Amino acid sequence: MAILDHRLTDKEYAQNFSDIHPPFETRDAALVEANRCLFCYDAPCTKSCPTGINVPKFIKQITTDNLKGSAYTIFQQNIMGGGCSKVCPVEKLCEGACVYNLMEEKPIAIAKLQRYPTEKAIAEKWPLFTRKPSTGKKVAVVGAGPAGLSCAHLLSREGIDVTIYEKENKGGGLMTYGIAAYKVTPAFCEDEVGYILSLGGITIKYGMELSRDIQLEQLRKNYDAVYLGFGVGLARQLEIPGEELQGVVDAIGFIYTIRANGYPAVPVGDKVAVIGMGMTAIDAATQARRLGAKEVTLVYRRTQEEMPCTETELEIARLDGCKVLWLAAPKEILGEEGQVRQLVCSVMQLGIADGSGRRYPVDTGETVTLEVDMVIKAAGQMPYEALVNATSLTNDRGRLVITGNTTNLPGVFAGGDCVNGGKEVVDAVQAGKDGGAAILNYVMNNQRH
């Protein structure tokens, strides 16, 4: 057993990381699906979209060959509508609400249809939005992820000059760095960010980290308002013995490396355990398999009933040959010569329901041991607690506390993962819109404090 990179041929990598949801190849194919749409009124799909995309309208516009209008309908509500069409868990959002489900029929392939006009718009750089004349107002945004970009785009359209401070050297946040490559490619993410910036009025300063390279107080002084959308980032620690061993990595870091360094350069074990059962755990497990791991086991302390990922995601992992060990909580990682060799898990059983209604797992006292050479931790992400505590921002264990969209500091707004602790891209886009609208109201109607 060993952790190795370059396990596969270029052809195998290309095949393993090809688009899991291929787009419509022809207009005819898109039209067949688009014409199935019933064009519901006050549509359940729209109501189930966190950004409220008018789904029936954009689909109708595909049927009338008004693709520019269709793309505009999508981007108007969700400027990352292209990326969201690839990464959204649509089975629990728009497609899950499609009325065809109630007829026991296949729901409309909304995500696939959404890709159709948005990919063209991004590839062909359709200038769908124009800026209003400059208002002379300036806003700083911290974080070029979905929340920050969506906030910036809304503000720039209204004639506000926006500067985004981003610690990485690419925009897109977790869309660019935290999602399985077979769902959305790094190249697409770059194009998407470029498309958003093509509006003008938005400058991104890369390699600028809050509290390290820039200070919040400075931003407050230099801009009419500040939006914080710096997300979450730290992997939750297991806090068990052996966590320091070689071969224990966190999922976010693992996925980041895949996206930043390219597939062949990413080392992966022969036998990999992935801790957790969220979307990130699935993305890590499936990609470990696709990088050439011989055996991948997802380890989760509860049951399928309680898992945070969708059934569709679990199905992807299973089709990739990943195993699942239910009711197992990591207890200890054992190693030899500093290298991971075994993962010891407590066997759990479900006890009574906790406050959130989920049944709490209870240790049975028995253990089960997995022979592994790599452990990927995907047990959730932690807010940047230290960063936040270094400011005077009110927070709840590192999560910013906002009222409406405003922090406790006048002129400082926040939204997205840094507030909610980590949700979908589409939720962050909406948070950015809400924050942008609040900032617009603030800078246009209020004098500076």
Residues that bind other proteins (CB under 8 A): 31-32, 34-35, 38-45, 47-48, 63, 97, 99-100, 102-103
| Of residues 71, 69, 43, the one with CA closest to residue 55 | 43
Q: Which two tokens stand for residue 220?
A: 């407050």
Please state the closest distance from residue 50 (CB atom) to other proteins, in A. 12
Closer to other proteins by CB, 47 or 132: give it.
47
Closer to other proteins by CB, 47 or 318: give it.
47
Closer to other proteins by CB, 32 or 265: give it.
32
Cα–Cα separations (whole angstroms), residue 142 to 32, 343, 424: 43, 39, 19
Please state the closest distance from residue 100 (CB atom) to other proteins, in A. 8
Please state the closest distance from residue 33 (CB atom) to other proteins, in A. 10
| Number of separate helices (H) and strands (E) present in the chain | 18, 17
Closer to other proteins by CB, 66 or 185: give it.
66
> In what order do the strands lie in the sheet containing 202-206?
202-206, 161-166, 138-142, 225-228, 412-414
| Of residues 134, 117, 114, 129, the one with CA closest to residue 45 | 114
Please state the closest distance from residue 52 (CB atom) to other proteins, in A. 11
Helices 311-319 and 279-290, axial angle in degrees (round to 10) = 10
| Of residues 361, 277, 278, the one with CA closest to residue 324 | 277
Q: Residue 120: beta bridge partners?
A: none
Please state the closest distance from residue 53 (CB atom) to other proteins, in A. 13
Closer to other proteins by CB, 45 or 426: give it.
45
Please state the closest distance from residue 89 (CB atom) to other proteins, in A. 15
Closer to other proteins by CB, 102 or 444: give it.
102
End-to-end CA distance of the chain: 62
Please state the closest distance from residue 312 (CB atom) to other proteins, in A. 19
> In what order do the strands lie in the sheet containing 323-325?
248-250, 374-377, 271-275, 295-299, 323-325
Closer to other proteins by CB, 34 or 388: give it.
34
